Amino acid sequence: MPDAEREFARASIWGTRLAAAAIPLSTALAQIGVVGVAGSAWGAAVFRRRHASAPAARAGIFDADKTAWLLVAAIGVWFVLGLLSAATHGHVPRFSHLNKALMAVGLVAGALYVRRVDPAELRVLAWLLVTGGAIAGLAGLAQIIWGAFPGESLLATRDRGWMGQLYLPGTMERVAAGTLRNRMKMAEAWLLVAAALSAATFHARGHLARVGAALGLNGVAALLYLTAVKAAFVIALVALVALILLEKSSWLRRLLPYALVAVFLAGLGTVLAIAITAPPGPAPVGAGSLAARRWIWSRAWQYFGEAPFFGIGLGTYSRVVLGDLGEGFRALTNNAHCQHLTALVEGGIFGFAAWLAVCAAIGSLLVRAWLSGAAPAAASRAVRHAATFFVLSLFAMSFVHDVLFHPNTAALFWAAVGTLLLPPQEASS
C-alpha cells in the first residue's frame, strides 16, 4: 500500500521539519525530534515490509549490511557491559548519560528515515537546520554584546547558574553560548549546521545558492570562534579542507582508510602517553586547558588501573570523579575530556574492545561511502558530504572532549552515522 506509506510520511514530515529547525535551539526538542524521526522511520519500514510485493522492496537497511549489524552489535555489547559493570561496583549511572542509548535511535533515524525522504525535502530540512542555527547565532551575538539574549533570564537554573555556560570557565569573559546556553553544546550543534552549509556549497543547485551557503559557512566559523571552543573552530577548518580533498581527488580518497587509522592511533597514543607520564599532584585550578587536561587524563588513567577489565560502569565517571576533583575545579569539568579515554575507564579492556569495534565500523562506513564504485546522484553526494563533515569533526574532537557527554550531541552524531548507511542513488537514476 504505497498510498498508506505516503500518508504516514505526510503526517510525520512537519514534525521532522520542526525537529530540524529546533536542533540548534533546544536540547529537549533535539532529543524528542530524533526519537520522533526514528519512530517515523520504523513506521515507514513496517509499511514497506508488510505491503510491498517484491522481496527486494521489503528488505530493510540492516538485512544484508554486515557493517551495519557489526555497528549495532558493538554498540549493544558496549552498552550492556557498561551497565553490568556499574551494577557490579555499586555505581549509579547519571540518567542524562544513559541517554546515550539514543545513539541506537539516532542510527535508525539516519538509516531508515532519510533514505525515504525526497531530495527536495532533504533540501528543505537542511535549510530549516540552517535557519535554526542562524537564530541561535543571533542569540550568541546578543550574549557577546549585551551579556544575554532577550528573555534568557527565564531559562536560568539555580543549580547550574552561569559559570561555564555563558562565560569562559574560570573567568567572566563572555562567550557565545547561544540558545542552548552551553558553549560546548552550541559549538557541536553549529558544527552540524556547518556540515549542511558545506554540502550546499558543493552540491546546491544554482550559483546563488552556493555563494549564499559559502557566506553562511563563514558566519558559522565566526560563531564557533566566539564560543571559545578552540577545538571546534580549528576542526571545522580541517574538516572543510578534508572534504575539499575528498571531493576533488579520487586518488586521495583511496588514502582515506589509512588516514583514519593513523589519526586514531596518533590521537589515542598521545592522550595515553600524557595520561601515563603526568606527575601526581593537586588539581591545577586556574591552569590553562592543556595543563587541566593533563591532570584530568592522569586521574582517568588511575581509575582505569583500579578496574582494568570491566571498568567502573557506563555513565558513572562524572559521579565517581566528583569527590576527587576538589572545590573549584569540579565546577569546570566532570568528564574525562576524551571520549576514548572515557570508554576505556568506564568499560575496561572488554568494554573498550567493543568501543574499538564501534569505531572500526564507523570508519568502514566512511570508507565505503567514498570508495563505492558507482557515481552517486547529487542528493546522495550532498548527504554523504554533510554526514562525513559532521562525523569527522566530532571524531577529531573526541580526543580532547567527551563528544557523547551531551545526549543531544550523541543523538545527532549517531543520526549522521546512520546516513552513511544509505545506499547511494546512481547519477543516472
Cβ proximity of 303 and 312 under 8 Å: yes
- Report the pLDDT averaged over residues 220-224: 95
Using the predicted structure, report yes or no on whether residue 112 has a pLDDT greater than 50. Answer: yes
Give the dihedral of Cα atoms 267, 354, 293, 86; nearest 10 deg: 180
In the chain, what percentage of residues exceed pLDDT 90?
35
- Report the pLDDT averaged over residues 304-332: 79
Global pTM reads: 0.89
Q: What is the pLDDT of residues 145-177, one digit of tens each?
A: 988 888 887 776 554 444 445 666 556 678 898
pLDDT at 321: 77
pLDDT at 379: 79
One DSSP character per residue, 323-348 reads: HHH-TTGGGT--S-S-HHHHHHHHHH
pLDDT at 429: 42
pLDDT at 200: 94
pLDDT at 411: 80
Q: What is the pLDDT of residues 354-373, one digit of tens each?
A: 999 999 999 999 999 898 76
Q: Is residue 277 part of a domain?
A: no
Q: Is residue 334 part of a domain?
A: no
The rounded mean pLDDT for the chain is 81
Cβ proximity of 308 and 342 under 8 Å: no
Cβ proximity of 191 and 237 under 8 Å: no
Using the predicted structure, report yes or no on whether residue 61 has a pLDDT greater than 70. Answer: no
Q: Is residue 114 part of a domain?
A: yes
pLDDT at 1: 45
Q: What is the pLDDT of residues 397-422, one digit of tens each?
A: 999 998 887 777 888 888 888 888 77
Q: Is residue 164 part of a domain?
A: yes
Q: Is residue 282 part of a domain?
A: no
Using the predicted structure, report yes or no on whether residue 20 has a pLDDT greater than 60. Answer: yes
Using the predicted structure, report yes or no on whether residue 57 has a pLDDT greater than 60. Answer: no
Q: Is residue 203 part of a domain?
A: yes
Q: Is residue 1 part of a domain?
A: no
Residue 315 is given by DSSP the state: T
Q: What is the pLDDT of residues 179-212, one digit of tens each?
A: 888 888 899 999 999 999 999 999 988 899 999 9
Strand partners, 376: 426
Q: How many domains does one find in the chain?
A: 1
What residue numbers bound the domain in which 232 lies? 63-263+340-419
**Amino acid letter for position 353:** A
Q: Is residue 157 part of a domain?
A: yes
CA 297 – CA 295 distance, rounded (Å): 5
